[in-house]
Amino acid sequence: MIVVNNKVIISGSAGFIGFHLTKKLMNMGFEVIGIDSLNDAYDVRLKNLRLNELSNNKNYEFHELNLSEPTSISQLQTLNTQAQTFYHMAARAGVRQSFLEPYSYVLDNTVATTNVANFCKVTGVSSLILASTSSIYGDSGENLMRENKDERIQPPSVYASTKLSGEILAKTILDESDTKVLIPRFFTVYGPYGRPDMSILRFIHWIINKKEVQVFGNGEQRRSFTYVDDVVSALVKVMNHNSSDTFNIGSNNTVSLNRVIEIIEDSTDMKSIVVNKERAIKDPDVVKPDLSHIKQTLDWEPTTLIDHGVQKTVEWYLENIELLKSLNYINK
């Protein structure tokens, strides 16, 4: 690995993927300047759990900062980090909730990304690694979604629209600058410390605690579930790519929600109580990634089978059950 200096900025470092990325880079010897607003998009107790673990490492420096605020650029500049890599992992995620709180999504995804891009331009950061989402592709059917080809001009949700807008604005702001814009698009990431508004952790919680498992629709929707450790390994490789680019980061195999429930039942030796509810608005049947570009360019592909990843997540839940069983698993 080629390293210019050993400092990186990670926004959303108390978030799910940002937390795991921060741990990985610190273990590799990097100093991480972590930024997070600690907002209430989901239960903040889980964010504090992650933050408490990170804060025990001497290579972690945390700043509570809302990047959508107009003053955020000057606040970032006062940190004087000299970091050459900015991982912008912070975002407000979730398709269903985005229709209920569109303004919050515009602020946290589009406006915040604009401010981060301007900061990188002003300070001469070498690489902006901007986390994005498979949601911008919509329903893929049996087709594999390919970067710079299959994006929707009119994305299917408020969430997807704000993320695609962030991508476009970052590339426009940093065009002809010295900052590379690298965009990893995540496909349904899961694993320990995951978000409580996402299906796998909710299903684990409901099954272990003998509660009704709420499935929106018939459960035959398929997702490219991708284990968080695989995602982090890809993000480390992205850091050293030598030009602006976009990469799908997902699993080669799609799995239905019903099959995920069966895997959790096998992992816990418990039966679920499934209650099917009305299908969520704009919920795609399937989204499948074309991984040929990231494999050819970065020599990356996922290695974690869904059964193993779910088992690891179940084990983590059981190790932290006293806190996790009290979290809010449905968005307000």
Calpha distance 229→309 (Å, rounded): 9
Q: What is the pLDDT of residue 284?
A: 74
* Mean pLDDT value across residues 146-161: 89
pTM confidence score = 0.95
| pLDDT of residue 331 exceeding 80 | no
Tell me which residues are annotated as active site: 159
The lowest-confidence range among 32-46, 185-199, 318-332 is 318-332
- Calculate what percentage of the chain has a pLDDT beyond 90: 84
Mind listing the pLDDT tens digit for each residue in 220-269? 999 999 999 999 999 999 999 999 999 999 998 999 999 999 999 999 99
Q: Which residues contact 9 (CB under 8 A, 6 or more apart)?
A: 32, 33, 35, 76, 81, 83, 85, 86, 87, 125
* Selection from 102, 116, 121, 185 nearest residue 150 by Cα: 185
212-216 and 189-190 strand pairing: unpaired
The lowest-confidence range among 20-34, 75-89, 172-186 is 75-89
Q: What is the pLDDT of residue 202?
A: 96
For the domain made up of 7-324, give the CATH fold.
Rossmann fold (3.40.50)
Q: What is the pLDDT of residue 123?
A: 93
* Mean pLDDT value across residues 119-127: 95
Considering the chain, what is the average pLDDT of its residues? 93
* Mean pLDDT value across residues 80-91: 91
Give, in order, the Cα–Cα distances in Å from 250 to each of 134, 139, 186, 187, 262. Answer: 9, 15, 6, 5, 21
Residue type, 85: T
Mind listing the pLDDT tens digit for each residue in 159-185? 999 999 999 999 999 999 999 999 999
Residue 286 burial (CB count, 10 A): 16
Q: Hey, where are the domains in the chain?
A: 7-324
* Mean pLDDT value across residues 276-291: 83
Beta carbons of 157 and 105 less than 8 angstroms apart: no
Q: What is the pLDDT of residue 3?
A: 45
* Selection from 202, 203, 286, 285 nearest residue 251 by Cα: 286
Q: What is the pLDDT of residue 134?
A: 94
* Mean pLDDT value across residues 35-40: 96
Q: What angle do CA 270, 271, 273 make, to 5 degrees?
A: 135
